[in-house]
């Protein structure tokens, strides 16, 4: 009984740690229009902030996965990851130029990348028979950040003419970022305590070697190849939508309403990820994924058809719901085929490839937007998601995958 109680307390460290490392980047989308205005950035320069950060993440993911698989002092590791992000974004809030901002944000994300393979592999090893639930719990932490951070940042930005942060000047994107650092610092203290409880009461098998060879061999499995291809397309669509959603809506319905719509998109993603991710443990993951991609693509294409706020809210919400669901199902689909002792290095490899391709491809979205306008980002993303369904259609004569 005591062990179960400790496990229930300790397991909080995984989603809360995820929330901590994702908190800043989750709200960063809200701040983009204000950053772009201060530094006079064009569409390509805005996309470059995300592209460079994501490309650097891809480089760090592989060694991060290896490290997460062999590390034994897991509480210390978790704490370093969280506070690395806090320090990095605090420095970013003082950036005097666009280039310094990119460097600061990119360096801050090292902590986030250190966390993801570590957190996801840990929770899937603990809940080894419920990978969909484990992935959903892990993603729930990111979802807390994706809802809480933009909601708070949009409130502070919206109230910037009458609201003062304790000890800070009238809120700008800089002071809002610093204020959120206080919140994440408190999260970090809870992560330190709960992770100590978790790893004291559970035994997680670690590897004595990097196990990279086995991780690369898993990429030969057709089901993992399918999951990876779709994940790349889905992540590109996700980055494209979030990069330009607040900018597009700011131009059409105002910055305040735009920030609320971004929050709605992310909140819907939380619900979709948790609900459909858990259901995929009991059903066919491929069928759930096909439905999510289809409905998500339709909703995304419909976002720019009108300036009517109620219709925009519906399309943005549905887009977020189904795109959010894809993440959990895709990761669970891949991890169904990965042995526990190489989960961490495989996750590092998987996300390194995912973020590497997606970051470069985001420049294609930026090029399209610079030519056809911000609304084209949604058409491009929707069409890509629809086309990705082809990957899941069984080839004639092939056997149905039991892993899907």
Closest C-alpha among 307, 319, 196 to residue 249: 307
Helix, strand, coil % in the chain, rounded to nearest 5: 80, 0, 20
Distances (CA, A) of 299 to 186, 382, 402: 37, 8, 30
* Domain annotation covers residue 19: yes
* Domain annotation covers residue 403: no
Identify the pLDDT of residue 169: 52
* pLDDT reading at 2 higher than 50: no
* Domain annotation covers residue 149: yes
Where in the sequence is the domain holding 51, given as residue range(s)? 2-392
| Residue 272 Cα to chain centre, angstroms | 14
Domains identified in the chain, total number: 1
* Domain annotation covers residue 281: yes
pLDDT mean across residues, the chain: 81
Identify the pLDDT of residue 341: 72
pLDDT digits (tens, 9 = 90+) for 231-246: 999 988 998 998 899 8
* Domain annotation covers residue 326: yes
pLDDT digits (tens, 9 = 90+) for 272-285: 887 887 777 777 78
Average the pLDDT over 21-44 and give the result: 87
Identify the pLDDT of residue 298: 96
CATH number at residue 118: 1.20.1250.20
Comparing 59-73, 101-115, 176-190, 257-271, the range with the smallest average pLDDT is: 59-73
Average the pLDDT over 14-22 and give the result: 87
CA distance 278 to 8: 18
Query: 139 near 323, Cβ under 8 Å?
Result: no
pLDDT digits (tens, 9 = 90+) for 357-392: 887 778 888 889 988 999 999 999 999 999 999 887
* Domain annotation covers residue 129: yes
- Please state at what angle helix 98-126 crosses helix 343-372, rounded to 10 degrees: 140
Closest C-alpha among 146, 175, 147, 145 to residue 160: 175
* pLDDT reading at 302 higher than 90: yes
* Domain annotation covers residue 398: no
pLDDT digits (tens, 9 = 90+) for 156-211: 876 544 445 554 455 688 888 888 888 888 888 888 887 777 776 666 655 555 56
> How open is the CA angle 208-215-69, to the nearest 5 degrees?
35
* Domain annotation covers residue 402: no
């Amino acid at each position: 009984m005591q062990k179960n109680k400790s496990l229930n307390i300790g397991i909080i460290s995984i989603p809360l740690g995820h929330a901590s490392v994702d908190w800043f980047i989750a709200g960063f989308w809200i701040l983009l229009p204000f950053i772009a205005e201060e530094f006079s950035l064009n569409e390509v320069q805005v996309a470059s902030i995300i592209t460079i950060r994501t490309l650097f993440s891809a480089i760090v993911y592989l060694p991060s996965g290896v490290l997460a698989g062999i590390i034994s002092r897991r509480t210390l590791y978790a704490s370093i990851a969280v506070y690395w992000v806090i320090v990095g974004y605090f420095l970013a809030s003082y950036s005097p130029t666009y280039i310094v901002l990119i460097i600061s944000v990119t360096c801050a994300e090292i902590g986030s990348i250190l966390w993801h393979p570590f957190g996801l592999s840990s929770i899937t090893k603990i809940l080894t028979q419920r990978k969909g639930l484990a992935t959903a719990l892990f993603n729930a932490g990111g979802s807390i950040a994706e809802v809480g951070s933009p909601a708070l940042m949009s409130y502070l930005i919206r109230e910037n003419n009458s609201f003062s942060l304790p000890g800070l000047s009238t809120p700008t994107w800089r002071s809002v970022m610093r204020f959120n650092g206080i919140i994440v610092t408190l999260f970090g203290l809870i992560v330190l305590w709960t992770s100590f409880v978790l790893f004291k009461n559970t035994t997680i098998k670690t590897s004595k070697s990097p196990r990279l060879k086995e991780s690369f061999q898993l990429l030969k499995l057709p089901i993992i190849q399918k999951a990876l291809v779709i994940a790349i397309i889905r992540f590109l669509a996700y980055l494209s939508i979030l990069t330009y959603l607040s900018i597009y809506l700011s131009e059409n319905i105002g910055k305040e309403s735009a920030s609320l719509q971004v929050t709605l998109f992310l909140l819907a993603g939380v619900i979709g990820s948790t609900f459909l991710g858990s259901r995929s443990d009991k059903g066919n993951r491929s069928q759930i994924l096909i439905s999510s991609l289809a409905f998500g693509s339709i909703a995304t294409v419909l976002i720019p058809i009108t300036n009517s706020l109620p219709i925009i809210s519906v399309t943005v919400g549905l887009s977020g719901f189904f795109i959010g669901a894809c993440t959990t199902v895709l990761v669970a689909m891949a991890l169904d085929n990965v042995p526990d002792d190489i989960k961490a290095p495989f996750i590092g490899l998987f996300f390194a490839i995912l973020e590497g391709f997606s970051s470069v491809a985001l420049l294609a979205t930026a090029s399209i937007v610079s030519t056809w306008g911000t609304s084209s980002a949604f058409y491009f993303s929707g069409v890509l998601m629809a086309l990705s369904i082809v990957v899941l259609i069984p080839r004639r004569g092939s056997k149905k995958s039991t892993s899907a």
